[in-house]
A and B are shown apart, each in its own frame.
Chain A
């Protein structure tokens, strides 16, 4: 599945009656199977964009579409990984991961198997019967990812999913996510405030300006292609191409914030 935005914009009306122009006219196409990372200063409308794609929010202007069909509301074909793990504490880890399949009336035995596979994929085999609140933050985030993967959506929308994690856990989950996206050929839309993370994960990086958010830079990432192979994280991060792109993007962000000094 691919998706597209046609002059999509969003204005919020706050409780005090103020109009907040969160998202300026945005036109964008994301191909099937691509891994698009979005960076930008906080408050620039990244989450707004994701909510529109997820179908949680109907934009006040323009049309958001999946495979040419306007988005009418949420769908299991567009899985969402939230910034906070959002697990249901009344369900075990296993039941959380099975939930989407249960909503969709998949038979119990098959649900169970898929959930176990997905938990194993994110490195949580053996934690199936734990309570969610007994898990660390990183493990909760893995569970959330497994829960989305279990549903096997074609598009995965992720909103700063690793933002609240420590550096080590974040790096592990980045590696896991890369592997999953390559194995399963998902279309991934990944929001982050870390330029480094965007360049590391994405095969395309979008930079958004401060509010009202617009895409001010749209860069392909071709480091793996340049080297003809997938580089391990540490090696990749120290290639000149990586450093160059990272700095270019960072500069663009500072520029669009109207702050030339670094």
Chain B
């Protein structure tokens, strides 16, 4: 690990949703602030900055991470995926996003980015996840609007459709 001077800005490069990005930040800058305010990728939200609410969840090299507990300098050279990278094309939604819309699994939508990122990774790893497994996963996220029932319904629906497309 290189030693970084705390008082200096450092160049940070990584891949964001498949595109190389670059910016400068002090070592103490959170990944949430870097994504949102340096790169302008505001889809990742901040709900607590202490790792509980899950709103800031992103994928770092395929693994789930709380962007609010990650320093921007830590993802040097990594592949980052955020909610902006989920849709297959502009103007279209992924199977998971469609299911959220169909089931009214979002209201204010502030928690949604993090939940989508978690479900996206989880359903890829465990396409047969049942309700209990999904509830367990979702317990890492707070949603104050929906009461979770429509999120569970959307996740189960998306899982079923993803299995179908995988077999098709």
Asked if A pairs with B, the answer is no
- Where the two chains meet, the residues of A that have a C-beta atom closer than 8 Å to any C-beta of B are none
